[in-house]
Amino acid sequence: MALNGKTALITGSTSGIGLAIAQGFAQQGINIILNGFGDPQEIEDIRKSLEINGNKITYSNADMTKPDEIVNMIQSAEQKFGAIDILVNNAGIQHVSPIEDFPPEKWDAIMAINLSSAFHTTRAAIGGMRKAGWGRIINMCSAHGLVASPYKAAYVAAKHGILGLTKTIALEVAQDNITCNAICPGYVRTPLVENQIADTAKARGISEEEVIRDVLLTAQWTKKFVTVEQISGIALFLCSDSAENITGIDLRVDGGWTAA
Ligand code: NAD
């Protein structure tokens, strides 16, 4: 199935992993609905830069903590493009803190953005995919969907949750030519991780260099960060015909972290 002319909605695609996935998809001529926060002019520049192969790129500023905005985003995308063929639930935030100091509002925000938004997008987009007779849902999980680290209660809980959602949806749509999978990256050096390096240094009382060496890359046996381009390539693979029978999995891209 050619991907050219298909339409993808990628939440949190103004930065980091989501942006790299958008760039990879744009190369294939896929129409894209970008989403996420940032400087309006920078987002407009990104939008224009992705219209490279006769594809159309639009942008929605829907806030992933707001179910109404999510439903509106899906409906207007369907009005413009027909179905959303590829849904990438990627928006995410992090907060690092010992449990006794963990702000309840951060817990709520992480649950809403990293977990519940994927429920709301999938719920709203699945009817269109069924009607189109083809679909791919990719949930951006994490090695933290499989194992824990201290001080990340909300993130680890949300990422474990999204794996459960992934498996459930995979079964529900298995006979509709729709797959649903989770990608579980180890550490990727995006703005989300840059902020974490500083926060972890504070929480553990160590330097940022020590955080990279002794916390982040300790778990990654390759001693290398995963790159955004690698995740983008894997997302494209999951959309390919070769991946038609891959559904309900956690695809680990973690340099051996969860093998240990
Ligand atoms: P990032 O900070 O570079 O990008 C996050 C994106 O989410 C941005 O576009 C941001 O605007 C958007 N976003 C945040 N809050 C939003 C909201 N309320 N509504 C809409 N959009 C919102 O982070 P990243 O590292 O590219 O992370 C992307 C995904 O990958 C996240 O789900 C993250 O948990 C996951 N992940 C990242 C790593 C890593 O090491 N960077 C590892 C594993 C998993």
Is the CB of residue 219 below 6 angstroms from any atom belonging to ligand 1? Answer: no
List the chain domain ranges: 7-187+226-259
Mutate which of 42, 90, 189 for ligand 1 pocket (most atoms within 8 A of beta carbon) = 90
pLDDT tens-digit series, residues 23-81: 999 999 999 999 999 999 999 999 999 999 899 999 999 999 999 999 999 999 999 99
pLDDT tens-digit series, residues 238-253: 999 999 999 999 999 9
18: tokens are 């989501």
Is the CB of residue 67 below 6 angstroms from any atom belonging to ligand 1? Answer: no
Please list the active-site residues.
155
The topology under which CATH files domain 7-187+226-259 is Rossmann fold (3.40.50)
Average pLDDT of adjacent 10-residue blocks, the chain of 260 residues: 94 98 97 98 98 94 98 98 97 95 98 99 98 98 97 97 98 98 97 87 92 92 96 98 98 97
> What pLDDT is stored for residue 149 in this prediction?
93
Model pTM score? 0.97
Is the CB of residue 220 below 6 angstroms from any atom belonging to ligand 1? Answer: no
> What pLDDT is stored for residue 155 in this prediction?
98
Q: What CA–CA distance (Å, rounded) separates 224 from 112?
A: 30
